[in-house]
A and B are shown apart, each in its own frame.
Chain A
Amino acid sequence: MTMPLGQKITFYVLLIVSALLIFAPTLMAFVMSFMSNKDILTGSMPTSLTLDNYRQAFSTFPLMQYLINSVVVSVLIMLGQLVLSSLAAYAFVFLEFKGRDILFYIFIATMMVPFEASVIPNFHIIRDLGWIDSYAGLTVPFFAMAFGTFLLRQNFKTIPKELREASLIAGMGDFKFYLTVVMPVAKTSLVTLGVYGFLTSWNMYLWPLLATTNDNVRTVQIGLKQMQTQEQLNQWGVIMAGAVIVIIPTLLLLFLGQKKLQKGLTEGALK
């Protein structure tokens, strides 16, 4: 795209300003995590940078345990979603049965139900199953994902029907076709969905709060909140250090996979 220089400058200035505005809190947290408490409380510019806050965060809290819990939970949810969504999407695209499309629309309609509305019934179920304070309770309720099924269905639909037919003639069953053809061909979308699922579960707050009562399975987001409530107000540096550690995976994934993520997410959209 070409545009006059003046316009270009205006655009970029506006973009930089808004980027700074949006990024400011993160930046502040990042800087504060390296500042001594004195500097933070007096509101001055940092006089010296130190790693003390990080050391303290790890020593006074089971931060490592929180991190491990978060990784386990996020990976489990991600895998569960990938497996279930892709299998469901496969059925919606490649298997023919009566009422398939209607079933799909009903399925998709569940996207409209906000998660909060299903929290209470979900909680009852995992309590009755005795899954409170377990990885199962934290992860299983998120495995079935309408959005993921939708995304993958759109992607699978772009796979020519003839590929399935060629495999039928060659005598290949559904499951083998799913594994050896559909999965590799839909790689981009699967990666996108995986990243999306991982990040969403990493940043989950409400559910882990309800489903956990002790530090053994508690995720890092809850841990962070605990830090804030247990500590005195003057421990801001430590809290910020914790926060920075928590957002690292998000940032990493975003930086590494931004292009892919964008491509994958818009793939299902109308062109």
Chain B
Amino acid sequence: MKNIEMTDITKSYDKQKNVLNEINLTIGEGEFFVLVGPSGSGKSTLLRMIAGLEDITDGIMKIDDRVVNHLPPKDRDLSMVFQNYALYPHMSVEQNILFGLQAKKVGKEEQRRRLIETTDMMGLGDYLKRKPRELSGGQRQRVALARAVVSQAPVCLMDEPLSNLDAKLRASMRVEIRRLQKRLGLTMVYVTHDQVEAMTMGDRIMVLHDGSIQQVGNPIELYNEPANLFVASFIGSPKMNIGKAVLNRAEGRLIVEDELNINASESLMSDIPNDASITVGIRAEHLTYATKEDATHFMEAVNVENLGNETTIAFELNNEIWTVKWPGQWEIEVGEMVPVKISCEDLAIFDTGSGRLIRAAKRVSKGAVPV
């Protein structure tokens, strides 16, 4: 079992622009660590540096308290699942899975034992003699996973392993990978650009943007207290509704996008520095529906998506589109003025210039706790 420690890790391909900037990070042993960020943010690069496939331009990388900056991949005792599976096209499933073991000189009997164990776990028993091209995407995926698992390396790296699967298979693979990791106690570094995967699988998540760490924390932390506007809009689906706001201290009102006039509480006003220009964010579930009588605001619906168990409604607010997600089926016409309730306690306040969080939303939507 191993931990991974990075100190001021920097990477530049062309010696001019940094693809990764001074990454400081410790991944604990047995942890499921998710790296998430938009395309081109440097996730794969970081993963490949952990694997030893990419030079480290600057900084120190330690695995198990040993500096590994110049250690070749094979001596790092890890396994990796590549984004495109990287299966050997001319080898059967069985050969593919055992490929690494042969190179590591594991005994024949031990190979058999692990093969059977792994393929049972992955449900690949029937396909052992097939070539990769005779498998479906999901089956190939499982072969790639099996190849990583069979090596029994304590550190496992995965680069967007589910990106090519359909929604249903993806959901079940998420559970399978997660279970496997817990059972084997692997230290897992998992790259994805899908925030649902990040939220559901990770013990901790790191959000990467333009090669810099935006925030590291457990999923709920990131959701409730996003460190900045980028994290706020990246984590959560639908994304957090964002709007520029002006605080009128004299009247105790917060005016959002020149349209919404929200009652500001004392504590909110005291949290906001005097001359700050601010942006507010509100989660879709905090824009709650109201009857005409207790509504605080009316907003114009511009799009309604009825999904059966819930309804997504988009409102126009100046130039921003805000979305809400309400349980159940709602009969709302496009163009209708819909009564909603907004409370200043649900607003997250950000500094417009730096994007940094000034004050997190005070209420979180807790599920009912059974007694």
Give the B-binding residues of A (Cβ under 8 A): 160, 162-163, 165-172, 176, 181, 184-185, 187
* B82 contacts partner chain A, Cβ-Cβ < 8 Å: yes
Contact A168 B53 (CB under 8 A): yes
Q: What's the least CB distance linking B244 to chain A, in Å?
A: 44
Question: 22 A-B residue contacts at CB 8 Å?
Answer: A160-B84, A162-B82, A162-B86, A165-B48, A165-B53, A165-B73, A165-B82, A166-B80, A166-B82, A167-B99, A167-B103, A168-B52, A168-B74, A170-B99, A170-B103, A170-B104, A171-B75, A171-B100, A171-B104, A176-B103, A181-B88, A187-B90
Query: Which secondary structure dominates where chain A touches chain B?
Result: helix
Which residues of the partner chain A approach B74 to less than 8 Å between Cβ atoms?
Answer: 168-172
Contact B103 A172 (CB under 8 A): yes
Q: What's the least CB distance linking B70 to chain A, in Å?
A: 14
Within B96-146, the residues touching A (CB, 8 Å) are 99-100, 103-104
Within B29-85, the residues touching A (CB, 8 Å) are 48, 51-53, 72-76, 78-80, 82-84
A-B interface contact total, Cβ < 8 Å: 58
* B328 contacts partner chain A, Cβ-Cβ < 8 Å: no
- A162-B82, A176-B103 known; A169 vs B88 contact (CB < 8 Å): no
Which residues of the partner chain B approach A176 to less than 8 Å between Cβ atoms?
Answer: 103
A48 and B72 alpha carbons, distance in the complex (Å): 76
* B327 contacts partner chain A, Cβ-Cβ < 8 Å: no
Which residues of the partner chain A approach B99 to less than 8 Å between Cβ atoms?
Answer: 167, 170
A181 and B89 alpha carbons, distance in the complex (Å): 9
- A168-B72, A169-B51 known; A185 vs B103 contact (CB < 8 Å): no
Contact B80 A169 (CB under 8 A): yes
A162 and B100 alpha carbons, distance in the complex (Å): 14
Contact A185 B82 (CB under 8 A): no
Q: What's the least CB distance linking A181 to chain B, in Å?
A: 6
Contact B100 A169 (CB under 8 A): yes
Partner of A185, one of B48, B75, B83, B89: B89
A169 and B86 alpha carbons, distance in the complex (Å): 12
A163 and B80 alpha carbons, distance in the complex (Å): 12
A160 and B88 alpha carbons, distance in the complex (Å): 10
Contact A184 B90 (CB under 8 A): yes
Other A-B pairs beyond A169-B74, A185-B90, 12, CB < 8 Å: A162-B82, A162-B86, A165-B48, A168-B52, A168-B72, A169-B53, A169-B73, A170-B99, A171-B74, A171-B75, A172-B103, A184-B90
Q: What's the least CB distance linking A166 to chain B, in Å?
A: 4
A167 and B96 alpha carbons, distance in the complex (Å): 11
Q: What's the least CB distance linking A207 to chain B, in Å?
A: 37
Q: What's the least CB distance linking B159 to chain A, in Å?
A: 9
Contact B86 A160 (CB under 8 A): yes
Contact B88 A162 (CB under 8 A): no
A176 and B104 alpha carbons, distance in the complex (Å): 13
A167 and B100 alpha carbons, distance in the complex (Å): 7
Contact B86 A166 (CB under 8 A): yes
Residue of chain B at shortest CB distance from A177: B103
> Which 8 pairs of residues, A with B, have the shortest CB-CB distance?
A171-B74, A170-B100, A162-B86, A184-B90, A162-B82, A166-B86, A170-B103, A172-B103
